[in-house]
Structure formats: C-alpha cells, structure tokens
Amino acid sequence: TERTLVLVKPDGVARNLTGAILARVEAKGYTLVQLEMVNATRQVLEAHYEEHVGKPFYEPLVDFMLSGPMVAAIFEGDSVIAGFRSLAGATDPTVAAPGTIRGDFGRDWGLKVQQNLVHGSDSVLSAEREIGIWFD
Ligand code: GTP
Ligand code: MG
C-alpha cells in the first residue's frame, strides 16, 4: 500500500469545497487516515515547496498558501499517489479535464494556475517527505 499527502488549498476551503473534494477521494476508494485543519507558516511552506524556491511564481504561491486556512490529509491505498493526481487533474484548472477536481471546481480567477484547489504528492519520496512536514 501507499500513502500520499493531500492539501485542500486556501481557495478550496474558502469556497466551502473541502467536503466535496475529500468525498471524491474517498469515493474513488482511498482511505482517509489523518485529517487536520491548518494555518501554514512560511517555514512549513518553504520546506514543502523547496523544489520551487527561486522560481518566479514561488513568492506569490507562498503568499497564496498563507492567505487562509487549509486542510491537510493523508490518504492511503495501492497506487494512491498516481491515483490522486489523476483525480486532481492538470495543474492549470482552465484546461484540467472535466471529471477531475481541478477541472470541475476550478477556473482562472486572475492568477492563472495558482488557485487550483488541491495539492498531491508526486512520488513515494515526496509523499514521505511532505507527510513528515505536515504531520509529526
Ligand atoms: P501541486 O500538487 O500543488 O504540487 O501541483 P502540481 O504538482 O500540479 O504543480 P507544481 O508542483 O508544478 O506547482 C506547485 C503549485 O505552484 C501549483 O499547484 C500551482 O498552485 C503553483 N504554480 C505552478 N506553476 C505556476 C505558475 O507558472 N504560475 C503560478 N502563479 N503558480 C504556479
Ligand atoms: Mg507538485
């Protein structure tokens, strides 16, 4: 089996989509094993987004992730890392396929791809790393 870190980003929480988003992950068959509402800190986000430090979108991304509460969750199941990313859809919600979380609930609100509702780990290594950042 496998575990992944899922974040419902501040836009998802602000738009009251947390339940709908988590329900889709559960409905696909993955098991919720940890759940917490969190206010991120700059320090946590710097660790979480270390691969993006220095990119032009990094500072705006961190400010966005600090703009309101988020929900952090761990889901478990065979191939859950790839399965969740498939369910989340493409990074850009404008072009994310209908049927995906980003495709159905997301759009460009003026910042292109920044407000895309969810984060999901992209490998076993990053899942372990990110779970260690958000959960003790
Ligand atoms: P995550 O699951 O959130 O990691 O999304 P991802 O793996 O599909 O995207 P990536 O790791 O490349 O980027 C992380 C996040 O940074 C994205 O989800 C977006 O919120 C934001 N982002 C990525 N690229 C851009 C960009 O070009 N401009 C802006 N404004 N934000 C970006
Ligand atoms: Mg990513």
Residue-wise pLDDT tens for the chain (136 aa)?
Answer: 999 999 999 999 999 999 999 999 999 999 999 999 999 999 999 999 999 999 999 999 999 999 999 999 999 999 999 999 999 999 999 999 999 999 999 999 998 889 999 999 999 999 999 999 999 8
Could you give the CA distance from residue 133 to residue 27 in angstroms, rounded to a whole number?
A: 26
Q: Is 112 in the pocket of ligand 1 (CB under 6 A)?
A: yes
Ligand approaching nearest to the C-alpha of 55? 1
Closest CA to 59 of 121, 7, 114, 116: 114
Q: Is 119 in the pocket of ligand 1 (CB under 6 A)?
A: yes
Q: Whose CA is nearest to atom 20 of ligand 1?
A: 114
Q: What is the ipTM of this complex?
A: 0.90
CATH of residue 64: 3.30.70.141
Our CA angle for 44, 34, 71, nearest 5°, is 50
Q: Is the sign of the CA dihedral 53, 58, 48, 108 positive or negative? A: negative
What DSSP character marks residue 51? G
Find the DSSP H helices in the chain: 10-14, 18-28, 42-48, 58-65, 80-88, 101-105, 124-134
- pLDDT at site 112: 80
Ligand 2 center to 77 CA (angstroms) = 20
Catalytic-labelled residue, pool 119, 127, 130, 134: 119
Q: Is the sign of the CA dihedral 106, 12, 22, 3 positive or negative? A: positive
Question: What domain count does the chain have?
Answer: 1
The verdict on whether 119 is a catalytic residue reads yes
Which structural domain range is residue 11 located in?
Answer: 3-134
Could you give the CA distance from residue 97 to residue 100 in angstroms, rounded to a whole number?
A: 6
- pLDDT at site 111: 84
Cα of first residue to Cα of last residue in the chain, in angstroms, is 20
- Non-local (6+) Cβ contacts of 75 within 8 A are 3, 4, 6, 25, 30, 31, 32, 33, 84
Q: Is 57 in the pocket of ligand 1 (CB under 6 A)?
A: yes
